[in-house]
Chain A
Amino acid sequence: MATALVLIPLLPMLSAALLMIFGRRLPQQLVAIIGAGAVALSALCVLSIAQPFLATHQALQVQLWSWMQIGDFSPNFSFYVDGLTLVMMSIITGVGFLIHLYSTEFMQQDDSFSRYFAYLNLFIAAMLILVMADNLLLLYLGWEGVGLCSYLLVGFWYRDPANGAAARKAFIVTRVGDTAMALGLLLLYTELGTLEIQPLMTAANIHWVEGDGLAIVATALLLGGALGKSAQIPLHTWLPDAMAGPTPVSALIHAATMVTAGVYLIARTHELFLLAPPTLIAVALIGLLTALMAAFSALVQQDIKRILAYSTISQIGYMFLGLGVGAWGASVFHLMTHAFFKALLFLAAGAVIHCLHHEHNIFRMGGLRTRLPVVFWSFLIGAAALAALPLTSGFFSKDAILLAAWQAPGIGPLLWLGGLLGALLTAFYSFRLVFIVFFGELQTSPDKQPGWRMALPLALLCLLSLAGGWIGIPVREVFPPQEEQHAGFLVHVISIGIPLLGVWLAYAVYISKQISFQDAAASPRGRRWSQLWLAGWRFDDFYSWLLVRPYQTIARFLRNEPVDRFYDFIAAISLQFNHLLSNLQNGRLRWYATSMIMGLILMLILGMEGAT
């Protein structure tokens, strides 16, 4: 059992190393087998430990070696597996394997096939270390590892400078959060004397009472890290740009796994957050705000991947909302179902892009329903789950979060209303996407059909997106028990009805044309709002004005070495004196004679002055 546990992150790591060193010399097929095979084996290992775990619900702990030893500080390289970890591991290796399989076809034409798989495997390994770590330092190692892989994969097509800029943006923006998190870790260590998660939770409960100032500061710092990685306000700006990478990367990293790391972190350290109620309220508010903001942005986007990117931000906002109101299990559940349907949506979008000569603009698509039936059905199921239509997986998880928000004390009903508005918008924009891309008149005709290696992952993810709602996640032991939720009949009806309303609205606007927003959108105010949403609420402009531009100005100023200017000035003065004096030494006899005489006369005059 311990061997299997160690093999889970080790296999993708070895495969990544192998592909990095020998990848260029191996044939493409072998690279695909190694890359996807390592993740498949890893997924099998997860299954092999899941079976006994589900029987006993006994958390596993494997200590490999002592990482480093500095005085009393000796973090171990050790893994801890409980229900939460198991859910995350299953998502990472399972969805990860499907995306690897899909990539073997999607990236077939690419010159850097082996580099792609090396990065992808490295990412899987880093993410597994993140979720399996039993201390926060090892978690931070995985945390930075996935950040690195995200950078490498966003900038995968590095020949285009725009992709490089997007990669740097992803890296730098998340770095802001990472710095906060590192400070949080330092604070936890200095205050509580350990970074191992389970002892840390115990120590926190002993040393701090609820509402303790230090607990609030520490959780706020951890929250900063989570906001960066999970693309929440105010650190969400990197995610829409991160769509510059290959589409399967967007599916794996920027939808299914990496961006959920923040949710995982908060769920993992939930006992700390329970000691800091103000931080929890902040988590809920930030989540709701992000969910709404991103949903509005998604309404008007035209790039198929950007719509999905904003929907990802919005859905993670729901997870934060769930975390904030203490619905830990529901959040993790939504994390899982979101991983299924968002991976499905991205892979289907990738198939559309793949079959339409890299077309991203949805208004140049249309009528693909009959031309790409597999993709259409996948996309439809994914969109239905995203919109939380009844009986899809997204419905169960989102419903659980909304119910928990309804029952939260204090601002609960407000959060619930905001969440409902977000759900309405979500249903509207996801079906707007479906109706524009797959219905209507054919705009660009596809030149190829997805092969089995693309179709199979789509089919499996369809199944998971539909049936994922019935999977019971084994997290009851991890999180504190919650009171049974009893909401009124009306609340249930409303939360079922709202998504349907959104779908009907999208149908009425884009198919039957009963309702038209043309007039509203064409009015000055409407245009202003839709421009604002299209630009993602102008966060980029704001940051550019607040941080980027001043920084560049300072950099330009410093580039001319202002300090050196002073010393250059001194040097220039002495050089001027040198010129002056060397002009006296001009080699002319008459000049010398004259100056001698003048000197003589001067001395005589002075001498006479002195004499009298």
Chain B
Amino acid sequence: MAGLQIPLDHVLLLATLLFACGLAGLMSRRNIIFMLLSLEVMLNAAALAFVAAGAHWGQADGQVIFMLILAVAAAEVSVGLGLVLQVQRRLKSLDMDGADRMRG
């Protein structure tokens, strides 16, 4: 693996930035679809960090966890889109601030 070796620090920095972007999106967007997208970005940031760490130490665990995250993300999206459909049907809107009937 000689040649272009991206330093681990850089990858982790990228992962952190991606995570932060996702987090900011999650906290600031009101549309549920964008919130799900932001969540996806955050998941992938975490996955990237795993892969990079696995490559750095030459361990397969990183990629295993990546596969697990892919599966979790897929499951989350399927449930999430189902919820999106229900929200759209009931509230005629995707604004999550409107869905506050559980308030105390």
A residues sitting closer than 8 Å to B (CB atoms) are 581-590, 593-594, 597
Complex Cα distance A599/B96, Å?
Answer: 22
Known: A597-B23, A597-B27. A590 touches B97 (CB 8 A): yes
* Besides the known contacts A589-B99, A590-B97, 10 further A-B residue pairs in the complex with CB atoms under 8 A apart: A586-B103, A588-B97, A588-B103, A589-B35, A589-B96, A590-B27, A590-B30, A590-B96, A593-B26, A597-B27
Complex contacts, B30 vs chain A, CB 8 Å: 590
CB-CB under 8 A from A594, the residues of chain B are 27
A587 touches B27 (CB 8 A): no
Binary contact readout B31-74 vs A (1 if CB under 8 angstroms, 0 otherwise) = 01001000000000000000000000000000000000000000
B residues near A (Cβ < 8 Å) are: 23, 26-30, 32, 35, 96-97, 99-104
Cβ contacts under 8 Å, A586 to chain B: 100, 103-104
The CA of A582 and the CA of B104, in the complex, are separated in Å by 5
Shortest CB–CB separation between residue A587 and chain B, in angstroms? 3
Smallest CB-CB separation from A598: which chain B residue?
Answer: B27
Inter-subunit contact B103/A593 (CB<8 Å): no
- Residues on A with C-beta less than 8 A from B28 are 590
Residues on A with beta carbons closer than 8 Å to the beta carbon of B100: 586-588
> Please, how many angstroms separate the alpha-carbon atoms of A588 and B100 in the complex?
5
Cα distance, A71 to B99, chains bound together (Å): 80
Whether B104 and A585, one on each chain, are in contact in the complex, defined by CB atoms closer than 8 angstroms, is: yes
Pair B96/A588 contact, Cβ less than 8 Å: yes
By a CB distance below 8 angstroms, the chain A residues around B104 are 581-587
Residues in A with CB closer than 8 Å to B23 are: 597
* Closest chain A residue, CB of each to CB of B97: A588
Q: A593 — which chain B residues lie within 8 A by C-beta?
A: 26-27
**B47 CB → nearest A CB, Å:** 19
Dominant SS among interface residues on chain A: helix
Across the interface, name the chain B residue whose C-beta is closest to A583.
B104
- B27 partner residues in chain A, CB cutoff 8 A: 590, 593-594, 597
**B27 (CB) vs chain A CBs: closest residue:** A594
Instruction: Among B26, B102, B103, point to the contact of A590 (Cβ < 8 A).
Output: B26
Query: In the complex, which residues of chain A have a beta carbon less than 8 angstroms from the beta carbon of B97?
Result: 588, 590
Minimum CB–CB distance from A127 to chain B (whole Å) comes to: 73
Q: Which residue of A lies closest to B39 (CB)?
A: A593
Which residue of chain B lies nearest to A594 when distances are taken between CB atoms in the complex?
B27
Report which residue of A583, A585, A588, A597 has the largest number of chain B beta carbons within 10 angstroms of its beta carbon. Answer: A588
When C-beta atoms are compared, the residue in chain B nearest to A589 turns out to be B96
- Chain B residues with Cβ under 8 A from A581's Cβ? 104
Complex contacts, A585 vs chain B, CB 8 Å? 102-104
A589 proximity list for chain B (CB < 8 A): 32, 35, 96, 99
User: Shortest Cβ distance from B20 into chain A, in angstroms?
Assistant: 11
Cβ contact within 8 Å between A587 and B26: no
Chain A residues with Cβ below 8 Å from B96 are 588-590
A sample of 29 inter-chain contacts (CB < 8 A) reads: A581-B104, A582-B104, A583-B104, A584-B104, A585-B102, A585-B103, A585-B104, A586-B103, A586-B104, A587-B99, A587-B100, A587-B102, A587-B104, A588-B100, A588-B103, A589-B32, A589-B96, A589-B99, A590-B27, A590-B28, A590-B29, A590-B30, A590-B35, A590-B97, A593-B26, A593-B27, A594-B27, A597-B23, A597-B27
Residues of chain A within 8 A of B29, CB atoms compared? 590
Taken together as a complex, chains A and B put the C-alpha atoms of A597 and B39 apart, in Å, by 13
When C-beta atoms are compared, the residue in chain A nearest to B100 turns out to be: A587
Q: Which residue of A lies closest to B104 (CB)?
A: A585
In the docked arrangement, what's the CA distance between A593 and B35, Å? Answer: 10
- Which residues of B have CB within 8 Å of A590? 26-30, 35, 96-97
Task: Give CA–CA (A590, B100) in the complex, Å.
Answer: 10
A582 to B101, CA, bound (A): 13
CB A131 to nearest CB in B, in angstroms, measures 78
Q: Lowest 10 CB-CB distances: which A-B pairs, in order? A: A585-B104, A587-B100, A587-B103, A582-B104, A587-B102, A586-B103, A589-B96, A594-B27, A588-B100, A593-B26
Residues of B within 8 A of A597 (CB): 23, 27
Residues of A within 8 A of B99 (CB): 587, 589
A584 neighbours in B (Cβ, 8 Å) = 104
Chain A minimum-CB-distance residue to B23: A597
Q: Which residues of A contact B102 (CB under 8 A)?
A: 585, 587
- State in angstroms the CA–CA spacing of A589 and B91 once bound together: 15
Across the interface, name the chain B residue whose C-beta is closest to A581: B104
How far apart are the CA atoms of A585 and B100 in the complex, in Å?
9
CA distance A232 to B43 in the complex (A): 100
Cα-based distance from A585 to B30 in the complex (angstroms): 18
